[in-house]
Structure 1
């Protein structure tokens, strides 16, 4: 048995026993199914990446940043009070301004992240209020009564550091949970990875089927390369390259955000005092600003999604036009 002299002759020999109409109908069915599967998986996987970025920007990242800022602020307030007492500056006018600013900042930040997390902040808010009241009493009401002042300071330290139920331990627990949520949101799961693999596999089958359909039309129907199928093939290649690259770039940004959020939590939980605490606050502020810039820089992904949507619809529509017009002739003959 002689072998075909060229790939075209090989496929002509393989497909020769099938009627042209049956071949075109089979190609059209495979094209429509593969295009529908590929476009659906592509859009769903890409939208999931966008949704992860949006959730991080509006909920998870602000919550992680706010909890870190709150923890540092309450520790800074305690240190400022201790420093004033050690230097005997309690009665100096304006000497307690710094610790009041820190408590006010902690209260504002904690109130601001209430809508960014599903966790219950009521207990933490109550502890923060009680802690601030105890410090204020020690520094104002009882500043001339050393014994009562020490009692109020001891009460404040207990509210701040009591194991498991104090303000700092509760903030630590909230940080662990919130950081874990942010990490899970920023990580591409196996379902999403499977969606991208399904997209690429369906697009590969779609491209091969388009090439086969072009060959059948050229060989059986005496037509030159069909422009609709050629356009669909070009769009298929673009859909297989551009959206995955865009999603990969967006996922790299999410990985960078996840790492920065981990650093923010780590900085806030390092033991430090005085100037070191102030430096930690500056570090957290800089990292938070970097996270905001990284999350704000993904506006272009929406344009890629819209382009993928239009291209995907054309990938479904163009093969129907290219093969359907020829099939219409055969159907009319019947």
Structure 2
């Protein structure tokens, strides 16, 4: 086999191998980036915000019960309408958390305990209202209910907070540009650069050994390679949107915790928090929906890789024929 023919075959093999490697790495990194927004939108964000909603409803119910007792207007009718509305909302939110939570088995155990404590809490509030006219006894029952709700580590809110921390950890894992993900993208970009260098090297060989200043097939392959910048920029945009979503959700959780930590909080502040929670879900959903069309990029990457390999073969095939019988 002549030296030129051997060189052409080696270069063709290198082009096809590098094309396959670059395509696989780029498609894998791109797919990892664009699979995560769906999970954030459909599962993690609703789970985080549902816990926030349950917290807000519980706090509103507790405020309403305390105000009802302080008003001195309690009677045998029991708790007031505001309390009943908010506690029903809290129960509904806790039920929905069970379907959406992303904290695994630990989350299921925490929710089981929260459900049990929530039943006891409601019964205790009813007893506090029923015995409100007896003064100290009513206050004692309400203090017991307050303890069930607010006890450190073992109260309802503490257990919801623990569940929320686990969910925020999952959210962070889904949305952060981790070291492993960075390595995947760096490998993909490095493979693309090597492929570009290899295409340029083949063009130089053809220029020196054949009367061909510019191979149109290899030029087309280079143009397709340049188009790979687009998936990279799409992925960068998607990553920014996921990080924005994480910051938005964390801010909602922190603001709600701050409201409850304020001893002078009022029911209207909790109403504002519910509006903030609803607005956050809408914004996160819109951001994640904005990435939906980019998910088809994996197919485009694969098609582009096949096209580059085919163009490389076409670009060298004519010259390989010239050396078909030269050994």
Aligned equivalent of 1:253: 241
Structure 1 pair 27/143, CA: closer, same or farther in 2 (3 Å)?
same
1:220 deviates by 2.5
1:126 aligns with 2:116: yes
Matched, 1:198 2:187: yes
TM-score (norm 2): 0.88
Structure 2 equivalent of residue 226 of structure 1: 215
C-alpha separation in 2, matches of 1:332 and 1:246: 48
Q: Distance in 1 between matches of 2:303 and 2:75?
A: 71
CA distance in 1, matches of 2:318, 2:97: 59
Counterpart for residue 70 of structure 1: 54
Describe how 1:230-249 pairs up with structure 2 within 5 A: 230-239=219-228, 241-249=229-237
Asked if structure 1 preserves the Cα contact closer than 8 Å seen for 2:79 and 2:126, the reply is: no
Residues 195-227 of structure 1 deviation map (CA, whole Å, 9 limit, x = unaligned): 211122111121122122223334433346333
- Partner residue of 1:39? 23
The Cα shift of 1:95 comes to: 7.1
Whole-Å separation in 2 of the counterparts to 1:94 and 1:245: 60
| Alignment TM-score, normalising by the size of structure 1 | 0.86
Could you list the runs of 5+ residues in structure 1 that have no partner in the other structure?
1-17
Measure how far apart 1:81 and its partner are: 0.8
1:267 aligned to 2:255? yes
What does residue 93 of structure 2 align with?
109
1:295 matches 2:283: no
Alignment counterpart, residue 212 of structure 1, candidates 189, 201, 204 = 201
For these two proteins, the number of residue pairs brought into alignment is: 315
Secondary structure at 1:331 match in 2: coil
Q: Distance in 2 between matches of 1:198 and 1:328?
A: 35
CA contact (8 A) 1:232 1:319 kept: yes
Go from structure 1 to structure 2 and tell me whether the alpha carbon gap of 1:24 and 1:155 turns closer, same or farther (over 3 Å shift): same
CA distance in 2, matches of 1:308, 1:278: 47
Match of 1:181 in 2: 170
Q: 1:95-135 CA deviation, whole Å, 9 max, x = no partner? A: 72222221111222222122332222211122222222322
User: Which shows bigger deviation, 55-64 or 222-231?
Assistant: 222-231
- Partner Cα distance (1:113, 1:317) in 2: 51
Separation of aligned partners in 2, 1:89 and 1:285: 33
Q: Which residue of 2 aligns with 1:50?
A: 34
Q: Is the 8 A contact 1:264 1:288 kept in 2?
A: no
